[in-house]
Structure 1
């Protein structure tokens, strides 16, 4: 895994997790009964974004480490997702000692 792909994987995990975490424990103006005139009752009053960003960073880091080890160890490869056999057979590997067979 290259550095670029590792960063992209972390960024995707972070944003997906953040979009899941944002609505958790959200306090709206309607919930608190203090709706500002001209705003929607569902507008957030207390969103706690710093705390949610910290939780997201920690959760994304844990998921990234797990996916990093799965990807780099070869437990799951791209050929595992070739359900229609479009990639053909895997190429044969040469013996380690340098002989022909």
Structure 2
């Protein structure tokens, strides 16, 4: 795995994890009873982005370590995945 490929994979994993983390613990302005003028009632109230970004970085690092182990050390091969067709190796 090259450095550029590793950075690209980490970036993609980080964004996927971030989008999974964003809705956790968010309350709307309507639920808090403080709707700011000019915003919709469903807008988030104090989304706490910095802690979510830090948690995203930790979780994405753990996921990337797993992906790195699979890719570099061949921990899982295509033959290990059930229900895939088996092909003979070409010499």
Smaller-chain TM-score bracket: 0.7 to 0.9
C-alpha spacing 1:79/1:9, structure 2 compared with 1 (3 Å): farther
Name the counterpart of 2:67.
Answer: 67
Structure 1 segment 1-101 matched on structure 2, within 5 A: 1-77=1-77, 89-92=88-91
RMSD: 1.9
Q: Give unmatched runs, 5+ long, in structure 2.
A: none
TM-score by length of 1: 0.75
In 2: Cα distance, 1:76 partner to 1:9 partner? 17
Q: Give unmatched runs, 5+ long, in structure 1.
A: 93-101
Task: Identify the structure with bigger relative contact order (alpha carbons < 8 Å, sequence gap 6+).
Answer: 2
1:28-70 deviations in Å (ceiling 9; x for gaps): 2111011122211111121000000000000000010111011
Instruction: Return structure 1 stretches of 4+ with deviation > 3 angstroms.
Output: 76-81, 88-92
How far off its partner does 1:76 sit?
Answer: 3.2
TM-score by length of 2: 0.83
